[in-house]
Amino acid sequence: MADDEKKKSPFEGFRVEIDPANIEDAVKKMQERIRTTFQAGRYTKVRLSYKGKQIGPELPLAVFLAGEGAAFFLASPLLVIFANLGAKAFLDVEFVHEADELVQEGLSLYLDGEIIEAEAKYREALKRRPDDPAALYNLGTLLRVTGRKEEALASLRKAAMGTPGHPDVVRASEAVEKLQAAKRDL
């Protein structure tokens, strides 16, 4: 019984305390929490790759799931499970987030010299996933190049706090060190 008492409720993170005097504030906080949770899970495409190389175009998530559902319906569930396990031994399945697409669009615009549009894409990606290291790093780089060094430093610092080992986190850490060294030299 002691073990059961230690277990947390699956809804532990969704608890909201409501003060009768501030119901409107509590509802706004709950709406923001739901919006943030929903936006963090916006995967729109599926990328299949073999040994790190992409196989064909990215598939819309709905098409991928419909194919899985049709296979499950038309074949026996056991056969589908074995087929999926066999395919996963050779293929990598990666879900592509909406923010990743926006970062790629921003990078393309940046490389074409469309700085204002690129910044808008990076900021839109950050609305979708506020802690996206690629969006933060690319935005920080763009801000540094356009002379907004304080904003750049803030964005790069946030990117550097991401998942250790992520390429953009490593690059952001290096960029923060360079900017801070340049700042000290002044």
Per-residue model confidence as pLDDT tens digits over 137-183: 999 999 999 999 899 899 999 999 988 888 888 999 998 898 888 77
Average pLDDT over every residue of 15-30 = 68
| Residue 34: predicted pLDDT | 62
**Same domain for 106 and 89:** no
The total domain count for the chain is 2
| Residue 183: predicted pLDDT | 74
* Residue 139 belongs to a domain: yes
* Residue 31 belongs to a domain: no
* Residue 13 belongs to a domain: no
Of the candidate ranges 36-50, 60-74, 101-115, the one whose mean pLDDT is the lowest: 36-50
- Six token digits for residue 115: 């700085």
**Same domain for 131 and 173:** yes
More confident residue, 46 or 119: 119
* Residue 163 belongs to a domain: yes
pTM for this entry: 0.60
**Same domain for 119 and 91:** no
**Same domain for 176 and 116:** yes
- Six token digits for residue 14: 């969704």
**Same domain for 108 and 146:** yes
* Residue 2 belongs to a domain: no
* Residue 61 belongs to a domain: yes
Q: What is the dihedral of CA 140, 141, 146, 151, to 10 degrees?
A: 20
More confident residue, 185 or 2: 185
CA 121 to chain centre: 14
Task: Please tell me the distance from the alpha carbon of residue 124 to that of residue 139, in angstroms, as a whole number.
Answer: 11
Task: Please tell me the distance from the alpha carbon of residue 37 to that of residue 26, in angstroms, as a whole number.
Answer: 17
**Same domain for 103 and 63:** no
The confidence band for 5, taking pLDDT boundaries of 50, 70 and 90, is: very low
| Residue 131: predicted pLDDT | 86
**Same domain for 105 and 81:** no
**Same domain for 110 and 82:** no
Task: Bin 51: left if φ > 0, else alpha if -120 < ψ < 50, else beta.
Answer: left
Strands (E) across 22-156 are located at 43-50, 53-54, 59-60, 91-97
**Same domain for 74 and 129:** no
Average pLDDT along the chain: 79
Assign residue 177 the CATH number of its domain. Answer: 1.25.40.10
**Same domain for 121 and 173:** yes
* Residue 161 belongs to a domain: yes
Task: Bin 18: left if φ > 0, else alpha if -120 < ψ < 50, else beta.
Answer: beta
Q: Which domain holds residue 82?
A: 43-98
**pLDDT tops 60 at residue 16:** no
What type of residue is 24?
E
Tell me how far CA of residue 122 lies from CA of 111, 112, 133, 149, in angstroms: 13, 15, 11, 17
* Residue 34 belongs to a domain: no
pLDDT tens, residue by residue, 28-63: 776 676 666 555 556 677 778 888 788 888 777 777
| Percent of the chain whose predicted confidence (pLDDT) is above 90 | 23
Of the candidate ranges 3-12, 65-74, 134-143, the one whose mean pLDDT is the lowest: 3-12
**Same domain for 117 and 87:** no
